[in-house]
């Protein structure tokens, strides 16, 4: 195993330990990836315990989502990762998680866009410099047919070059960054904002 | 102590450490078991701290729930474990926990069935492949007379071959799996779904 | 330092590490004690960080609540500990904690008694064998004059020999046990029941 | 690096590890400082992961908020720290955090002051000796122009010599103490009180 792959594998393993410990990747859900080259990514194998990943639990895929390693099956949602690497050359890591708050907020929000406004923490996202901005997070209907879901996502990405993440209803969050550390910062910021949004909705209504 | 028992004992000890740390087995509540053979299971001794189990805190029971080790008293709920091993030969581990969310949701739900629908995480259960399925979790009234409660459970199991777990009202959850890792994945998935369900009920009502 | 004191001091230190980590003893609040003899107890010194206690942070007090160690000031609430050791010879440890849930529930409950019923976890308390029992927890008004508060508590204890704990409004919980492990089990059970009770009250009202 | 700076740097690093672990400094948010001398403070560098700070992640600033170390950029909010050290000579540490509860409560509270009353935990603040006192926490509108925000804060400080902390709406908490341990105790107490206040508001309304 070459040095770069070893390094990126370690990043995925450590991201999994953190995200599992936070409760954002329960019950073998979630999948994570990093860009390996201009045409390949390193991705988690389907169905593994995300807090206990080993080097055996990642595999190389091409942009068509095909496994380049015999005997290893990539996540069913591989295309949702690879379309992001093709969308923007500066994306180096993609994280998909299944937190309770992301799940609940996506089911609760009736519109197809969650709009976050007035939070200082919006500044954690690359390109956002003030709480007076509005962070728009699209919500896609869940779909077990991933190519069809990827088409929906692609239409949004093509028309929203500043997109930093999206929700799938009743399912979870996709976010990304130039480095794994950026993708992790985005997850933390989204989870904090989702938690605040849920508390505010509960309390403003009473 | 033979090698297999040592291995299974270790699985129970580690499951306890995890489940206690999650807050799902507080105050010496809960009990865990693994299948030892076609006629015996290894089960936690009554009343022990579930985060601090040792090899002394498990004992062998037969399908009638009788202790096969002098001086060790099995959990009062032993029959609820052994009936599952008799129900399906492929079950290798049974976990019973007392989380706050399981307790609250079972008291809140007025009907005798909790119906979970629309969650991607339903796919964490063996046999479920889409969020469009409905996961039915029966809720039994709590009863200190365990043989009577076991009879109620047996009637459900006999008519619902796809059952993956059940709730006892104001008490807790029973779930299982082919291996301990499967039973733990089911617990994590149930707890995530219970948490989502409670948040959604609170927020949809406001 | 004799062996018994060393052992009991270690129990207090470890209890503090656990209770602080759970968030039940924030900001130097709370105090803990163990019986040292028929006339003395070992108690935490006032104002220390409960997750970082050392052997220096406990002192010996008599039943009048007087420090028997020069230069060490006992907790302001010492009399609330010593009255319990005098009340029942079988009490070996007393824990007072300040969890958010205990605080909120004591402020929310309008009557002077919290009544817990229908929870399997009531069986974690010595003497309770069924969820069909009712666990009555008195709630006393907070009072900075501890002797006056102790008088209120004494009246309750004298008329309720089965009392396993009490709340002080906007303040926290007192509970106890034959051993430190019993007192800790009672804390865990109370905290689980308080959490369930708060969730049920919120959800039953919506 | 002299011994005192090494010691104070270590305090900031450990505070970050604690505050991040508690979830109060997510996604590189927050900033912390300690007084270095009568005219200088040690402060966190802008944009670092608060749970993984190293000695490289702090820098010396003067009371005008200017970096005294080439190549290191202080937090954008430096003036909010330095004004406190100038306000009171006894302040030795200032902590600014971004917890979800501080954020939500500051957005929920319609007035410009949060008033906390009836909690025993108010006694965790230097100068408060009874739950019958009222702890007033001003809430300032968030503002990306820090000198303008600092002017608002200064007006409050000048007229409220007993102030122990303040909120910025949708943003977070500022609190302080003679030592880092005092500032940390204040954070813990504020977070417990904010959590209680949110639960009470939710439950009293239902």
Convert the pLDDT of each residue in A94-109 to its tens digit: 999 999 999 999 999 9
The burial of B178, by beta-carbon neighbours within 10 Å (0-12 exposed, 13-18 middle, 19 or more buried), is given as: middle
- What is the side-by-side order of every strand in the sheet holding C113-117? C58-62, C40-44, C31-35, C93-97, C172-177, C165-168, C134-140, C113-117
> Strand, coil or helix: what is A121?
helix
pLDDT per position as a tens digit, D47-65: 999 999 999 999 999 999 9
* pLDDT in the model for residue D1: 58
Cβ contact C131:C193 at 8 Å: no
The verdict on C107 touching D (C-beta cutoff 8 Å) is yes
The CB density around residue A80, as the number of other CB atoms within 10 Å, is 24
Structure tokens at B64: 């009638």
The verdict on B206 touching C (C-beta cutoff 8 Å) is yes
Residues in chain B within 8 Å Cβ distance of C182: none
Cβ contact D35:D88 at 8 Å: no
The residue of chain A nearest to residue B119, with distances taken between CA atoms, is A170
Q: pTM, whole model, 2 decimals?
A: 0.97
The burial of C127, by beta-carbon neighbours within 10 Å (0-12 exposed, 13-18 middle, 19 or more buried), is given as: exposed
A interface mutation test: which of B19, B126, B129, B131 has the most A CBs within 10 A? B131
pLDDT per position as a tens digit, C75-133: 889 999 999 999 999 999 999 999 999 999 999 999 999 999 999 999 999 889 999 99
Highest mean pLDDT (candidates A123-127, B20-24, C43-47): B20-24
* pLDDT in the model for residue B206: 60
**A134 membership: H or E segment, kind and range:** strand A134-140
> To the nearest whole percent, how much of chain B has pLDDT over 70?
99
- Bridge pairing between strands D113-117 and D134-140: antiparallel
The verdict on C196 touching B (C-beta cutoff 8 Å) is yes
Beta strands, E only, A8-98: 31-35, 40-44, 58-62, 93-97
CA atoms within 13 A on the CB side of A70: 0
The verdict on D185 touching C (C-beta cutoff 8 Å) is yes
Cβ contact A124–D170 (<8 Å): no
Average pLDDT estimate for D74-85: 94
Q: Which residues pair with C136 in a beta bridge?
A: C115
b/e A99-136 (16+ beta carbons within 10 angstroms → b): bbbbbbbbbbbeeeebebebbbbbbbbeebeebebebb
Within chain A, where are the H helices? 3-21, 78-87, 100-108, 146-159, 180-205
Cβ contact B153:B140 at 8 Å: yes
Shortest distance, CA B126 to any CA of chain A (angstroms): 12
pLDDT per position as a tens digit, A19-75: 999 999 999 999 999 999 999 999 999 899 999 999 999 999 999 999 999 989 888
- Whole-angstrom Cα distance, residue D164 to residue C173? 27
Residues in chain A within 8 Å Cβ distance of B200: 104, 107-108
* pLDDT in the model for residue A170: 98
Average pLDDT estimate for D85-98: 98
The verdict on C77 touching B (C-beta cutoff 8 Å) is no
Cβ contact B108–C132 (<8 Å): no
The burial of B32, by beta-carbon neighbours within 10 Å (0-12 exposed, 13-18 middle, 19 or more buried), is given as: buried
Q: Tell me how far apart the terminal alpha carbons of chain C are, to the nearest angstrom.
A: 57
Whether B123 shows a pLDDT value over 70: the answer reads: yes
Q: Give the largest CA-CA distance in chain C.
A: 57
CATH of the domain at C50: 3.40.225.10
The residue of chain D nearest to residue C170, with distances taken between CA atoms, is D119
Nearest C-alpha neighbor of A128 from the set A159, A155, A165, A103: A165
Structure confidence at residue D156 as a pLDDT band (50, 70, 90): very high
Residues 110-129 of C with CB under 8 A from B: 118-121, 124, 129
- Whole-angstrom Cα distance, residue B29 to residue B20? 9
Q: Any binding-site annotation on A96?
A: yes
* pLDDT in the model for residue C174: 98
Residues in chain D within 8 Å Cβ distance of A199: 100-101, 104, 198
Residues in chain C within 8 Å Cβ distance of B168: 120
Counting one residue from chain B and one from chain C, the pairs whose CB atoms sit within 8 A come to 69
The number of distinct structural domains making up chain D is 1
Shortest distance, CA D155 to any CA of chain C (angstroms): 29
pLDDT per position as a tens digit, B141-175: 999 999 999 999 999 999 999 999 999 999 999 99
Cβ contact D95:D187 at 8 Å: yes
Cβ contact B29–C185 (<8 Å): no
Structure tokens at C206: 């919506």
> Strand, coil or helix: what is D61?
strand
pLDDT per position as a tens digit, A139-164: 999 999 999 999 999 999 999 999 99
* pLDDT in the model for residue A195: 98
Is residue D69 left, alpha or beta, with left meaning phi > 0 and alpha meaning psi from -120 to 50?
beta
* pLDDT in the model for residue B13: 98
Q: Any binding-site annotation on C186?
A: no
Beta strands, E only, D63-202: 93-97, 113-117, 134-140, 165-168, 172-177
Residues in chain D within 8 Å Cβ distance of C201: 203, 206
The residue of chain A nearest to residue B129, with distances taken between CA atoms, is A144
Average pLDDT, chain A: 96
Average pLDDT estimate for C10-31: 97
Residues in chain A within 8 Å Cβ distance of D100: 192, 195-196, 199
Question: Can you tell me the ipTM of this complex?
Answer: 0.95
Whether B74 shows a pLDDT value over 90: the answer reads: no
Whether C206 shows a pLDDT value over 70: the answer reads: no
Residues in chain D within 8 Å Cβ distance of C206: 206
Q: What is the domain range of residue A53? A: 3-205
Whether A206 shows a pLDDT value over 80: the answer reads: no
């Amino acid at each position: 195993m070459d040095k770069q792959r070893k390094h990126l594998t370690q990043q995925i393993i450590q991201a999994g330990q953190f995200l599992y410990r936070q409760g954002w990747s329960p019950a073998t859900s979630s999948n994570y990836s990093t860009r390996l080259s201009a045409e390949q990514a390193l991705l988690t194998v389907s169905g593994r315990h995300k807090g206990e990943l080993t080097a055996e639990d990642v595999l190389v895929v091409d942009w068509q989502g095909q496994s380049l390693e015999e005997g290893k099956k990539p996540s069913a949602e591989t295309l949702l990762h690879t379309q992001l690497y093709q969308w923007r050359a500066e994306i180096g890591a993609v994280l998909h998680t299944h937190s309770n708050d992301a799940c609940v907020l996506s089911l609760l929000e009736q519109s197809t866009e969650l709009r976050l406004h007035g939070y200082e923490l919006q500044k954690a996202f690359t390109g956002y410099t003030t709480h007076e901005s509005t962070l728009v997070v699209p919500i896609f209907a869940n779909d077990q047919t991933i190519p069809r879901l990827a088409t929906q996502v692609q239409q949004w990405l093509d028309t929203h070059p500043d997109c930093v993440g999206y929700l799938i209803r009743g399912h979870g969050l996709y976010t990304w960054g130039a480095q794994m550390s950026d993708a992790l910062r985005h997850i933390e910021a989204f989870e904090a904002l989702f938690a605040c949004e849920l508390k505010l909705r509960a309390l403003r209504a009473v």
